[in-house]
Structure 1
Amino acid sequence: MTLKLRSVGTSDRGLIRSGNQDALHAGTWLVAVADGMGGMAAGDLASAIAIEAVAPLDRETPEDALVAALQSGIQEATVRIRRAVSEDPERQGMGTTLTALLFARTGSCLALAHVGDSRAYLYREGVLKQITRDDTFVQMLVDQGVITADQASSHPRRAVVTQALQGDEVSPTYATMVPWAGDRWLLCSDGLSNVVRPDTLAEVLAEYPDQTACARRLIDLALRAGGPDNVTVVVADIVEE
């Protein structure tokens, strides 16, 4: 038996924003979520550039080349965003988060790349764990013991990111993990994680085995919570074949 990645992604502009600055990729080997910032047109462009830069990684990759592949994808995104800003000065300040998961061709390993505050969660054997750490001002305050995690969720500056893909050099976080059959990954923009509690996320991931129904339910919960931001969800399951 070989482990395979099966994914579904969906996105909604929410109830407040006039457009959607999120972008996603839900493939056979790669899943990714990007949340653009820096004004309407520029945010759209930045997230689209990031996803277009990493999308070619959705192919069979040896396990010892996963992190290098993600690094090259992020470097390509950085170069393209820098070029886009140089072509139009009004795009200055545009950027995007990026959280991406790349699955090895052998099914024995996966690698994660992360910059910004879009998140990756792993639901394994009934337990939900946030795998990524937000690159945000409030997370820094939490790490320093200034505020609690509960206080961070309602802090007025919770949307201030300390790192994003903006055409400059960044220091993404990379990690490798061993997948288990039955693992369920959730990648999402902060339009979901800022308004739906982790325990509720866990309940939905457990209750909806169908990926499309699961993703739709998560979007619906974000909208019921006011839908203040664009909402993007990718549900990826590790299955035996």
Structure 2
Amino acid sequence: MKHSPLKTPEQLLLRSQNIAGLTLGQLAAQLKVTIPADLRRDKGWVGQLIELALGAEAGSKALPDFPALGIELKTLPIDQNGKPLESTYVCVAPLTGITSQSWQQSWICQKLQHVLWVPILAERQIPLPERVIGSAFLWQPSAAEQQALQQDWEELMELITLGGIDKIRGAHGKVLQLRPKAADSNALTAAIGASGEPIQTLPRGFYLKASFTAAILCRHFNLATPT
């Protein structure tokens, strides 16, 4: 599918509205994309399908999905009550060479400055082709959200810098968490050990906690705040 270049966020929203209400199967048929049997080996398939439908241009480059607009695309699987089903992957976390990096310089900060959220009704009992694309919306972090993200990021980066990578668990952080991000246990990367020595460990990724994205959804759609 050929798309004309997007010039404004409003054009992106309009393009998003055109696919709202479609099932993933209907959209895949329109785009002539093969639907995988399940997402166990194709975890990024839904996001890639939406990227294709909306004309995202970044691909695997270290750029926002819509570089000209500075907007990142994130799909968000939800249940029928609008509650996120899982945490949201943002980007790979750097594990070395980070002592002088600030939050504002970080890749995660840049990716979260302007996000197009695309909710997907994706309860596990719904077959993949029948899952429904919801109403997309644009989000920029409020001052309070920015502060919460920065605080978690700084605490996690300090633990990594001081050799505490293996002590970090998903419970760390109020809105942001650090979790292993690798296709298999053999995909190791360099990090800092407890005594400052070089070690090999699983790559880690930054994830937004489901409670954080739930609050974003509630505020946008005027839903009751989750408990």
Q: Normalising by the residue count of structure 2, what TM-score does the alignment of the two structures yield?
A: 0.30
The structure number with the bigger radius of gyration is 2
Higher relative contact order (CA closer than 8 Å, sequence separation 6+): 1
**Comparing both structures, which one devotes a greater share of its residues to strand?**
1
**Comparing both structures, which one devotes a greater share of its residues to helix?**
1
Q: Normalising by the residue count of structure 1, what TM-score does the alignment of the two structures yield?
A: 0.28
